[in-house]
Structures are given as structure tokens and as C-alpha cells.
Amino acid sequence: MTVVKAEQGGSTGLPCDIDSYLDDEPIIIRWFRANSTAPFYIIEDSHTRGIWNANHDISIDFAGRAYFSALSSPATLKLSRLFPADAGSYSCVVKFHSGEVRVHNMSLIVGVSPSKPVLTDGDGSILAPNIGPYYAGHNLRLNCIVEKGFPVPSLLWKRNGQLISGQETKYKIMFQPRPEGAHSVLDVGRLTRDELKATFACETFNNILENPLFTSVTVDLILPPLSVEVEHAGNTYDAGAQAEFRCRVTGSRPFPVVTWILATRKLEAYFSHISDNDDGNTTVSTLLLTMSPVEDQQKLTCKVTNYQLPGSTWEDSIQLNILHPPVVSLHLRHGQSVEHISQGQDVALDCSVSSNPPASRVFWTLNDRVLNPTELDEVSSEDFEIVGKQMLLRNVSVSKHNGRYNCDVTNSLGSVRSNDLDLRVKYPPKCHSTVVKNYRYGTTKVPLAVRCQMDADPADNLSFTWIAYNATGSRDWRLLHPSEQQIINGSTSVLSYTPAFLNEEITIECWANNTVNSSSQEKQPCVFHIEPYGVPTPLEGCQVVNQAQSWFFLECDSSREDVDRSKEFYLLEVFNADTQELFVNITSDEPVFQVGDIPDATECIALVFAVNEKGRSEPSRVIVQAISPPSKLLTSGVGVSVTAITSLIVSLVLLVSVALS
């Protein structure tokens, strides 16, 4: 039986085979409905003009809605404006001129095709083809609504093309009553990674619709990474070499943000590659890093964040093992500063070493002098104590501890010297000279310039104190007024002192202070003795500065500061060293003498005196060595006498000596 499906209110055609294989033609065609003996449509060729010119007799139920077309192939009863009541069984009875009767039975189904399913969420909002992203754990419920359809449409749910039965343990299907159409609910439940990119489709059909209609949605999820892993080759790296590191992140949705961190410093990735997969995606971030000794044993971390999951991070890390020669830094310990090291302190030095492989030897040097030359790591003395990478300087002083310190460190990859640590020990002022200096005066009208020169560090802006003591031996003293002194520079003060009366004899001490806190025992004053002129002090620095066979040139130091030149002269006495015979007696205003007419090859003794009205000083004794006459071999046959040549040379030397003096 032929089944014909038609839409309510629409049109359709019921086929009827009227073709004859015997060149016969139909004479009458009758259409019957089920269980009806009266035809509702008759086509009769009563005038034998051919069935296509036959008369059509139509019942009132189909008037204006039915028409038989004999020219169609096959011939068809066309029905329009169909009603549900039009559904049922139909028969086409064809009688031919030859008497043959042919019956065709068929069934007409009249209904309403289902409308396209509409998918909504639990709130009734219509869903787009792509839904989400949802957080994992979100409860998802899908509504499938078909607005119309008759007979009542059937609804099916599919996941990725596979039918979901009502017996599924995870997914629940519920049908909701509806006046027209159909309504089904799919309870997906709590979403898991398994639902990522899953497509849920609602399919509808009935016996009117040829091909089912469906609507689908694809689920997107927000997912944390499944794994984070730093990939690298090798366990050690050479300093200066470049190494590649990859951070592989799988399963994150949406794609993650990858940050490289070395210790606390962020690094820029060389490039990143992202690929999608069923689990979310795979992101590979590649880092190119040049190995540096300072990064040895530091932690390299790949930190991953998902902007849809704020506050959550995932990471993996490795510890860098970088082989390098020692990296050495020398500094003071315990918060000490090289700018504030004072005499007498204990100073601790620390040789900080970063070495991979570990250091095998540490040498300490002061001004390039090795302080621990033995194989022992520990060296101890009254000035130094060395224990490995630490050194203690005891009771520091300028003479023993000032200078440039270094530590030299060795491992299997090389030896490295540290930075220079220049230690400059600060000390309180002490007098530049340890000798008591004498100043003499011959009048109370001319002040004495008493010069006080200090050694100190720091030496700038010293404050000076002058104290005068009586020469009687008592410790009576008086402080000299600061206005009586003049600071020439930071480390030298000149006191302009005028004796209070003739024959005043006092001792003056010059003290100084700088920024170094110290006791008076650590300071050393300059001491000066002030006294009136008496017998002159002995001359110093007397020597023969030029000499020939019969003469010599002698001078003494003329820079004495306690001399009143206007009241002093100088006396030279020359004796034969063997006979003690006085050769010459000369006086001079300056301690400079030229002596002639000395017998050849004679050794002399010269006594030099300073003389004033009080008497003469102790003599300064000078031995004048004898000069032998030239050999006769040198003089024989020579036209110019040796004496003349010698006189010329002596004259030239004398002129040069006088000019230099």
C-alpha cells in the first residue's frame, strides 16, 4: 500500500495508475474513502473522447479542493487545503474499455511537521551554538522545546552523535507536558573535563517529517592545567653558555599565561606555541638563557596563571647547577666600614665566595704578600688570625695593617683574585718628630715662629692646643691663647711666641685632636724648648764638598732655626793629622770655607765652631783625606803640565759648586 504524507492545510497528490499495456483506455475512474461504498470523485469518459476529456463529478466535501489530473505521470488526484479529517485510506478503482478493473489502495496521513527544536538553559534563555565557558562543577540543564507538531513529535538527545538513552547513569532525561509540540529536559549535571567541547543535540521527528530536525550546542569550559612541567637537557651548565628550557602546560582552558622567574627576576620567553586538544590546550613556552655564575643554585620557575581562575597559580621549577670559576668579593664584616677604622680596633674581613665546583684553596694577601703561604687553612699571630674565608686583624695599626688586601680563590676551573680592599687605619695626631726641638732668642721684641707638624689620619682640620710649662721642673703650666697661633694647613700649626722677659726658659707642648676618639696616651705632642741664646749649639752636616791636592772646599748645614745670624759667626781650624800642627785659622759669616796651600799628600783634621758673644760651640770634626800626586808616567812627555790641568778642573768644579750652592 502506498503511504502519502501531507501537511495540514497543505496540498498533496494521490497516485493512480491508469496506463494500459493493451492500448486500452480507462472508461471510468472512481475514488473511494475507507469504509465508504460511495465514491467522492468520479471521472467518466461517457462520450468516448478520452479520459482526459471526461466528466468530473466531485462530492461536496472535496469541492474546490480536489482535482484529478490524467495527464500527470502517474495520474494523480491532487488535494489541497487538507484537514486532519482528510487522513485515512483511499482507493482508486479504474475500469477500462476492455472490461479490466484495476484497484489502487493508499493511505493518506495528514499532520503537522515538528518545528525546529529550541534549546534553552535552566533560566529559559535561548542558547547559542557555543555555550559557556562554564567553570568545572557547574550544573548544566538543557531544555529542548518543539513549538508544534502533529502527531506529537518525538524528541531524542544525542552527545557527540551518540544517542543518550533514558537509562544513562550520568545524564537524566525528563519530558514535560505541553499543550502543543513537545518539551524534553536533559540534566547534564556537574560539568567535568569530560564535557569540554562535547556537543549535545536535540532531535525531533514525527510521521509527517521526512528528515528529523535538530539543534545542538557545544560546551566550553574553564579548566585548570592538568600538568606543568619544565623540560630541560642535562643537569649541569657551563657559565657563559646558552641553554634552552621549555615549559609545557597541558589542559588549561582558556590558554594560560606563562611567566618565567629566575629567583625573583622575571624573564622574557623566546617564543610560545599553543595547540588545542580535547583536554583544553597544550602551551609550550621556550626560554633561552645565558648561564651566569651569579645564577648558580638559583631556582628557575615556570609560573602559570589562568585569567579565568584568579588567585590560582601552578608552577614547576628546577635548580640551576652552573659550573664556573670562583666569584669572589672581599668586604668587612659586622657592619664595619673602611672609612671608619681606627687604630686599636679589631677588624674582620670576609672573603665571600661563590664557586662551583667548590673552592679548593684560599690565599690572603696584603700588598701582594701572601699571609697564609702554607697548606694550612688556619694561620694565627698577634696581628692576624685566618680561618678559611675569614680573617681577623687584631689591634690594627698603620705600620702593620695599612694597605691593599685581597683573597685569591682557586677551584678546578681557575683562580680568581678578589676586589681590592684598601684599609686605611685612622689614628690620633702624633708629632712628626720625636726629638725635642730647641728655640733660642736674643731679644723679647722679635717673636719666635714655633712650628708644630703633626702626623694624623684624618689630617684635615686638626684642632691644636698649646701648653707652656715652667723650666724649673715644676708642672706649673698655662694654656696659650688660640689667637697666638696660626694654622698653616690642616696638619701644621705655627705659634708666634714672644718671650715674656729676657732669660725666660720654658717648655711648650703642642697637642692636636682629630675625629678619632682616643685617650691622651695614644696622642704624642710636639715638644719645644725655649731658652735665651748661650753658647751656640754644634754645627751639623759639615763635610768636604770639593778637594784637590793642595786645597779643599768645606761647608756645614746652614738651616738651623734657633740661630740669630746677626750675633753669630763661624770659625775653621785645620790641623795636620799626624803632627797636630795648625795649618790655617779662618772665620766666616756663613759656615762655608775654602782652604788652600795644603801640603801635598797631607791628611788634615778640620774643626768647625759656631761663635757668639757667649763663646764658641763644641767643634764639628771633619777628616780631610790626603790626595797623592799623579804618577810620573802620566806626566812624562806631556806638553801641558798636570798641575795646570788639575788647576783647570778644580776651577771648573769650584765654579759649579758655587753656582749650585
255-268, pLDDT tens digit by residue? 999 999 999 999 99
Give me the percent of the chain exceeding a pLDDT of 90: 66
What pLDDT was estimated at residue 263? 94
Average pLDDT over residues 530-542: 89
- Grid coordinates given for 495: 705659634
Strands 437-441 and 526-532: parallel
Residue 523 has a pLDDT of 81
Specify the pLDDT at position 636.
Answer: 39
Task: Report d(CA 22, CA 528) in Å as an integer.
Answer: 167
pLDDT at 473: 57
The mean per-residue pLDDT over the stretch 483-497 comes to 80
Query: For residue 645, what pLDDT is reported?
Result: 38
Q: Is the pLDDT of residue 350 over 90?
A: yes
Average confidence (pLDDT) over 243-250: 96
430 vs 560, higher pLDDT = 430
**What is the identity of the amino acid at 552?**
F
The mean pLDDT of 182-189, rounded to a whole number, is 95
| Collapsed DSSP state (helix, strand, coil) of residue 648 | helix
What pLDDT sits at residue 65?
A: 95
Task: Judge whether residue 302 has pLDDT over 80.
Answer: yes
Separation between Cα atoms, residue 362 and residue 216, nearest integer Å: 76
* Per-residue model confidence as pLDDT tens digits over 86-141: 999 999 999 998 889 999 999 999 999 999 999 999 888 999 999 999 999 999 99
Alpha helices by DSSP H, listed for 288-375, are: none
Cα–Cα distance measured from residue 106 to residue 90, given in angstroms and rounded to the nearest whole number: 5
Average pLDDT value for the chain: 88
Q: How do beta strands 265-267 and 55-58 pair?
A: unpaired
* pLDDT for 567: 79
Assess contact for 331 and 246: CB atoms under 8 A: no
Q: What is the pLDDT of residues 32-66, one digit of tens each?
A: 998 899 999 999 988 788 888 889 999 999 999 99
Report the pLDDT value the prediction gives residue 657, as an integer from 0 to 100: 41
Pair 258, 269: CB distance under 8 Å: yes
The phi-psi region of residue 48 (left if phi > 0; otherwise alpha if psi is between -120 and 50; otherwise beta) is left
Residue ranges of alpha helices (H) inside 381-539 are: 398-401
Mean pLDDT of 605-634: 85
**Cα 148 to chain center, whole Å?**
70
Task: Give me the pLDDT at residue 233, please.
Answer: 86
Confidence of residue 187 (pLDDT cuts 50, 70, 90): very high
Instruction: Please report the pLDDT score of residue 660 as a whole number.
Output: 41
Look at residue 348 in the predicted model and tell me its pLDDT: 94
The average pLDDT across 313-324 equals: 96
Number of residues that this document lists for the chain: 661
Q: Out of 24-38, 81-95, 329-343, 622-636, pick the least confident.
A: 622-636
**CA neighbor of 305 nearest in space, from 249, 258, 362, 359:** 258
Which residue segments constitute the domains of the chain, with CATH numbers given?
2-111 (2.60.40.10), 118-222 (2.60.40.10), 227-320 (2.60.40.10), 326-423 (2.60.40.10), 427-532 (2.60.40.10), 543-642 (2.60.40.10)
Rounded mean pLDDT, 590-617: 92
What pLDDT was estimated at residue 210?
Answer: 81
Asked whether residue 646 carries a pLDDT value surpassing 60, the answer given is no
pLDDT tens digits for range 127-156: 999 999 999 999 999 999 999 998 999 999
pLDDT exceeds cutoff 80 at 578: yes
